[in-house]
Amino acid sequence: MIKAFVKNLTTLPGYNEEGVTFLDEQEAETISSNYVRLKKGLSTPVGNHDDEEEVYIIIGGRARLQLDAAFSEVGVGDVVYIPRDVEHQATCISEEDFEYICVANWPDRLPKLPLHSE
């Protein structure tokens, strides 16, 4: 059964390193979430998902973000939407770590039942 919860990112293993998943497919119906941290000059792997949408919420630093053939500079307060089938990669360009929350959604995934206890 899926249950509501509260977690604190700063207490999860991996928080002070490259990041940590804090909501996985065992804990939610169609989404997962993770915190990502990149040092200056480091990049995420190139991603492209035919079954997944993503939203990035930028909470620290700046990055050069590739979305297919377009490049943008993103920083604190920016929100990025990445639809299915869009090649994407982030590279930290600031002295401070580039940090963001990624929320991924699988719209075609069927919900697990029962959703709540009655």
Instruction: Look up the domain containing 64 and give its range.
Output: 9-105
Q: Is residue 46 part of a domain?
A: yes
Per-residue pLDDT of the chain (118 residues; tens, 9 = 90+): 678 888 888 888 777 777 777 777 778 888 889 999 999 999 999 999 999 999 999 999 999 999 999 999 999 999 999 999 999 999 999 999 999 999 999 878 766 555 555 4
In a domain, 112, yes or no: no
User: What CATH number is given to the structural domain containing 50?
Assistant: 2.60.120.10
| Residue 34 domain flag | yes
Do the domain assignments include residue 35?
A: yes
In a domain, 72, yes or no: yes
Distance between CA 106 and CA 3 in Å, rounded? Answer: 19
- Alpha-carbon radius of gyration of the chain: 15
The structural domain count of the chain equals 1
Per-residue tokens: 101:
């929350």
Query: Is 57 part of a structural domain of the chain?
Result: yes
How many residues in total does the chain contain? 118
